[in-house]
Structure 1
Amino acid sequence: MEELKLHMSELFNSQMTGIKDAIINLTETIKAQNSRIQQLEDRVSQLEKSTDLSVLENKIQKLSIKIVEKEQTLLANDIEFSGCPEVQNESAMHIIKTIAHKIGISINEKDIVNVERVGPRRPEEKDKPYRPRPLIVRLTRRETRDALLTAARVRRGFNTEGLQLPGPTRSLYINERLSGHNRYLFQKARLLASELKFKYVWTRDGKIYVRQEQGKERSRIREESDLFQVFGKS
């Protein structure tokens, strides 16, 4: 029994020593990890202090503008025809060729990549004039697009009279196609210009310009913040 007690005591002491050593090693590991975490926190804190957030915001803003400009560039050969009466089984190609002929521009199928109505079809409402969806035309050459836009500007205010299109006489509009972002900015700019008596709001090559009156410097609208700078409100 004495030998057994002695053996058990030695075994217990040996195990306790092992446990103590393991606890010491674990404690040292935890301390080392805490030290690394603290170092990382210090580095993050230094980076936050040294990083100018305004610089990052400026870079993001410039990148957003480049993306919008790239999107608009993809529409460089597109034109939007608005006001064209819409019927089922219509020949959109024939409509475009007829309108182009009326404003003095001769085009054929080889000049057109694609033509289609865009957007959901609008339901007819009682006591309200029907608004047909616009026709979007993608042309093969930029020169043809520019010729159509120039002719439309010269004959501003022309309509469907004499074009043998269905329905009553309607005004027709030919404009360059804008990206979703630029379309939104253009609509906002026109509303603000009307409210604040600015005389000129126009687009040229997908760019939006505003001029208060003849002789004043023109301003370009790239983003919503420009609306505030130009008009004093957004």
Structure 2
Amino acid sequence: MKQMKKDIEKNKNEINALEQYSRRDCLEIKGVPHNNNECTDEIVIAVAKRLDITLKKENICVSHRLSQKKDQNTSSAPIIVKFASRKIKDEMFNNRSKSFKARVSEADAHKPRIYINESLTKANKKMFYQCLQFKRQNGFKFIWTRNGTILMKKNETSATIAVHNTADMMKHKISPSAEMS
């Protein structure tokens, strides 16, 4: 029974890794208000332009709004976009800091900021949320993702930690007494 549980956990991790790999060319864009008759490809192109990236429709395989839970506001559903090239996806992702200031148009200055994130699996989103809590509780300064892997750093000079599961986090838990010395 113990071996079966290990095998099931291993299989779940492998399936998650494969699902995350299939999202390697995808980004999620949050904060773009929904309009009737919108074309999400055109929205993605407009966001790219605000990031000083020239993007054409041919560079986008597919884009659409993600469905929201029934109790959530669908007018702010994120847009997921799969790019034809990882190079373009990486350029958008690497320039995302400009997206905090970017709006789809100058007329949108009063609307929420745009956020660009990697498309994470449900399991990895849950792990990222747990890492955010861990970060706050244990004095870590940085958390980010790169190619679907969650990365953390205690400070500017500390080593980068790759987090794949809860055990990876707990290896780096700092006890209050260790902080004092």
Question: What's the TM-score, normalizing by structure 2?
Answer: 0.83
Q: 1:91 & 1:63 partners in 2: Cα distance?
A: 38
Q: 1:70 & 1:59 partners in 2: Cα distance?
A: 16
Choose between structure 1 and 2: higher strand proportion: 2
**Structure 1 stretches lacking a partner, 5+ long:** 1-47, 125-130
Question: What's the TM-score, normalizing by structure 1?
Answer: 0.66
Whichever residue aligns with residue 101 of structure 1, its letter is: K
CA contact (8 A) 2:151 2:162 kept: yes
Matched ranges for 1:156-195 at <5 A: 157-160=100-103, 162-165=105-108, 168-195=110-137
Deviations 1:11-33 (A, max 9, x none): xxxxxxxxxxxxxxxxxxxxxxx
Q: 2:131 & 2:28 partners in 1: Cα distance?
A: 19
Matched ranges for 1:190-229 at <5 A: 190-229=132-171
Match of 1:65 in 2: 13
CA contact (8 A) 1:159 1:169 kept: no
Deviations 1:103-146 (A, max 9, x none): 1111111111111111226238xxxxxx7111000111111101
Larger relative CO (CA 8 A, sep 6+): 1 or 2?
2
Is structure 2 residue 39 aligned with structure 1 residue 91? Answer: yes
Match of 2:84 in 1: 140
Deviations 1:138-179 (A, max 9, x none): 1111111011111224x25223174445x8332111121111
Alpha-carbon shift at residue 225 of structure 1 (Å): 2.9
Match of 2:93 in 1: 149
CA contact (8 A) 1:176 1:206 kept: yes
Identity within the alignment, %: 20
Cα distance change, pair 174–66 in 1 and its aligned pair in 2 (3 A): same
CA contact (8 A) 1:113 1:138 kept: yes
Alpha-carbon shift at residue 221 of structure 1 (Å): 1.2
Q: 2:164 & 2:146 partners in 1: Cα distance?
A: 13
SS at match of 1:231: coil
SS at match of 2:62: strand
Alpha-carbon shift at residue 187 of structure 1 (Å): 1.3
1:119 aligns with one of 67, 77, 80: 67
**Structure 2 stretches lacking a partner, 5+ long:** 176-181
Is structure 2 residue 52 aligned with structure 1 residue 104? Answer: yes
Q: 1:61 & 1:101 partners in 2: Cα distance?
A: 43
Match of 1:29 in 2: none
Q: 1:80 & 1:146 partners in 2: Cα distance?
A: 13
CA contact (8 A) 2:153 2:161 kept: yes
Cα distance change, pair 209–199 in 1 and its aligned pair in 2 (3 A): same
Choose between structure 1 and 2: higher helix proportion: 1
Structure 1 range deviating more: 222-231 or 212-221: 222-231
User: Is the radius of gyration larger for structure 1 or structure 2?
Assistant: 1
